[in-house]
Structure 1
Amino acid sequence: MPKDVDPEKMSRRQQFVATYRMAKQSDRHVGLWILGAFVLGAALGFGVFWFLPGSGVIGLVIAVAGGLMLGLLLALVVFGRRAQKSAFRQMEGRPGAAGQALGMLRRGWKTDPMIAFNKQQDVVHRVVGPPGIVLVGEGNPNRLRGLLTNERRKHERVASEIPIHEVVCGNGEGEVPLPRLVKHITKLGKNVKPADLTDVLNRLKALDASRSNIPLPKGPVPTSMKGLRGQMRGR
């Protein structure tokens, strides 16, 4: 996929092709998994619909159509899951990986990547949603402790009544692995009403405006996951 192409402006077919190519890079057998899922789903669907009331040509047509629909559905499910796992494998260990993963959150969430960082490329991302404010640290846990504490204090000054959660993305003890990050955040609860989120976001804009304009740390970032996120939503 060309780097200058916005996945949001791509057609559904182009998104599927780009996502398949991305998945193929780290999952050589993704095509066989998709084909196998389609064949299995089609066989099961044909068998189920064949025994429904009906006979002759009409019964055969219904069985074939039902088999194709079930096969296609199962193939899409397998494709989506393996593409997601492949994307996480390619992102893991790269600077900004957690920020890319947070981009898969559904509507109702506001993600601001890299609101704080240091020279060692330890970064803090921010997510605002039903649980409140979630500060996601990515990098060395010891260095992140200071970054997260500093950001918590800043956010408490402008939104003291909003719950603030701290999450460290990683594979160590007490950390959340990258593939489970989005699910972990969505399970933090519902503490803020949608009507109150607008006020919270406006106050955070004032906080961000007071930050110094320091260039973001450079580093390899994986291919945008907007296309994959759209497929996860069924768009």
Structure 2
Amino acid sequence: MSTPDPSEMSRRQQIAATYRMTKRTDPRIGVWLLGAFVLGAALGYGLFTVLPGSGTLSLIMSIVGALMLGLLFTVILFGRRAQKSAYDQMEGTTGAAARALSSLRKGWKTDQLIAFTKQQDMVHRVVGPPGIVLVGEGNPHRLKTLMASEERRHQRVVAEVPIHLVVVGDDEGQVPLRKLVKHVNKLGKSLKGAELTDVRGRLRAIDANRSNMPIPKGPVPTSMKGLRGQMRGR
């Protein structure tokens, strides 16, 4: 049976699917969430108890405050542990960087598999405020040649646009998968709206020559957009 598209699932179904996914690598997630709710509720109840007021109204406000803070703590913890679990499950799998990049917010455009080798080394491209970011995953030695070739190819079309090279991994000079999105977001702001549109238009000339390139065998990267929406409270 195929996995449902997160965009076609109800809010409740998305939460349930994320919980099941998280539980695979975090079996005590239920205990953690219960603990977060109890802690938040206790703090909320205590906070509203000391506020001016008395009688039934004060009790009702304290209970409401406990529920609100308890739910807030639970949602925050669930989002963080779900994100960690998602990265843990993606680590070491084909296309993991592409899946992580899909969680970038509006204003970024990600093109997966713009270059690759038979050994499934891959280069993905992200276009956004920092300019062009070429993200490689696979063997660093093979990626060095592959990414240098892509950098030259892009410079011929958008010579004035900054091009950043990022290799995903845990060795020195590389960016760990779980920090990839944060790293890309911190690369600066060199392009604005109209400039981004122009760059994306010129890059179509490069992409047009790739239309007949064979896609390498292996798992097709899936999206983190459903999880992203849940963590952002949508």
TM bracket, shorter-chain basis: over 0.9
CA deviations 1:3-29 (Å, max 9, x no partner) are 352111211111111111111111101
The answer as to whether partners of 1:133 and 1:162 remain within 8 angstroms in 2 is yes
* Equivalenced residues, count: 234
Distance (Å, rounded) in 2 between the aligned partners of 1:134 and 1:164: 6
Identity %: 66
User: 1:49 aligned to 2:77?
Assistant: no
Distance (Å, rounded) in 1 between the aligned partners of 2:55 and 2:214: 70
What residue is the counterpart of 1:166 in the other structure?
A: 165
What residue is the counterpart of 1:146 in the other structure?
A: 145
TM superposition score normalised by structure 2: 0.96
What residue is the counterpart of 2:107 in the other structure?
A: 108
What residue is the counterpart of 2:201 in the other structure?
A: 202
What residue is the counterpart of 1:179 in the other structure?
A: 178
Which residue identity lines up with residue 173 of structure 2 in the other structure? G
The answer as to whether partners of 2:98 and 2:221 remain within 8 angstroms in 1 is no
The answer as to whether partners of 2:94 and 2:221 remain within 8 angstroms in 1 is no
What residue is the counterpart of 1:65 in the other structure?
A: 64
Change (3 A) 1:72 1:53: same
Unaligned 5+ residue runs, structure 1? none
What residue is the counterpart of 1:74 in the other structure?
A: 73
Which residue identity lines up with residue 48 of structure 1 in the other structure? L
Unaligned 5+ residue runs, structure 2? none
Distance (Å, rounded) in 1 between the aligned partners of 2:55 and 2:157: 71
User: 1:30 aligned to 2:29?
Assistant: yes
Which residue identity lines up with residue 101 of structure 2 in the other structure? L
Distance (Å, rounded) in 2 between the aligned partners of 1:177 and 1:197: 27
TM superposition score normalised by structure 1: 0.96
CA deviations 1:53-94 (Å, max 9, x no partner) are 111111111111111011101100100000000000100000
Distance (Å, rounded) in 1 between the aligned partners of 2:66 and 2:217: 49
Change (3 A) 1:223 1:28: farther
